[in-house]
A and B are shown apart, each in its own frame.
Chain A
């Protein structure tokens, strides 16, 4: 069964600094991977998804993620953090059929001036 691990439950960066949120998956077959963002008291919004096309995936709000099969990783990055990026970020993978999503534990991103 698929599982998703997010390293670091809390990440704090300065405004303008690089954002790096880590995600590793476990699977022997190419996965379908997603990054979702959850702003306070809101639902989840898709940032980007990997579906076996290009390994570097660009998403909304300047985020991108690189799929690395050799490292079973799908880390999320943004070159320059903005205060509005402060939120909870979830990495997720399809597990089995029917679009069943398995989520990582989430990483809370704090951005300070």
Chain B
């Protein structure tokens, strides 16, 4: 049973294209996150949704648009892809309500390569 899953695992595309990455969690958590890991392995949060409501929106180009159809899913849509968007994108989930600062569970990542 995969707790946090992402599709696709690999995504290779041309500059200027639009692409989406999907994330699903079956842990019953109320909060989901998107992180970007660059080529130097540096991890930075991009967005977070709590019960379908956007709660964290870091300084990210507006070409990136997250969408949460329900609390178990958080998708990331990227318009007009640029070379600098090449990275590994991780989805994560946690339970925000109840105990504070619960751990985040991470998906396996999506490696995006923009040519």
Do the beta carbons of B4 and A43 come within 8 Å of each other?
Answer: yes
How many residues on chain B are close to A (CB under 8 Å)? 27
Closest residue of chain A to B103 (Cβ to Cβ) is A46
Assembled-state Cα–Cα distance A101/B109 (Å)? 17
**Within the complex, which residue of A36, A45, A98 is in contact with B31, where a contact is CB–CB below 8 Å?**
A98
Contacts of A18 in B (CB 8 A): none
Q: How far is the CB of A89 from chain B (nearest CB, A)?
A: 10
Contact B42 A103 (CB under 8 A): yes
A99 contacts B43, CB within 8 Å?
A: no
Chain A residues within 8 Å of chain B by Cβ, number? 24
* B48 adjacent to chain A (CB < 8 Å): yes
* Contact present for B102 and A99 (CB under 8 Å): yes
Q: Chain B interface (Cβ within 8 Å of chain A)?
A: 4, 31, 33, 40-45, 48, 50, 55-56, 90, 92, 94, 96, 100-109
**Cβ contacts under 8 Å, A94 to chain B:** 101
Are A100 and B45 also in contact (CB < 8 A) when A43-B106, A44-B90, A105-B40 are?
yes
The interface residues of chain B lying within 8 Å CB-to-CB of A88 are 41
Kindly identify which residue among A38, A45, A51, A98 contacts B56, using a CB–CB cutoff of 8 Å.
A98
Q: Which of the residues B42, B45, B108 comes within 8 Å of A101, measured between beta carbons? A: B45
B96 and A99 form a contact (CB under 8 A): yes
Chain A: minimal CB distance from B39 (Å):
12
Between-chain CB contacts (< 8 Å), 7 pairs: A43-B109, A44-B92, A46-B105, A51-B101, A98-B55, A103-B42, A105-B42
> Which of A41, A44, A99, A108 is close to B101, meaning CB atoms less than 8 Å apart?
A99
Q: For A32, what are the chain B residues with a Cβ–Cβ distance below 8 Å? A: 100-101
Is the pair B103, A49 in contact by a Cβ cutoff of 8 Å?
yes
Does B50 contact A98, Cβ atoms closer than 8 Å? yes
Provide the residues of chain B in CB contact with A46, threshold 8 Å.
103-105
Q: Which one of B41, B50, B108 lies within 8 Å of A43 (CB-CB)?
A: B108
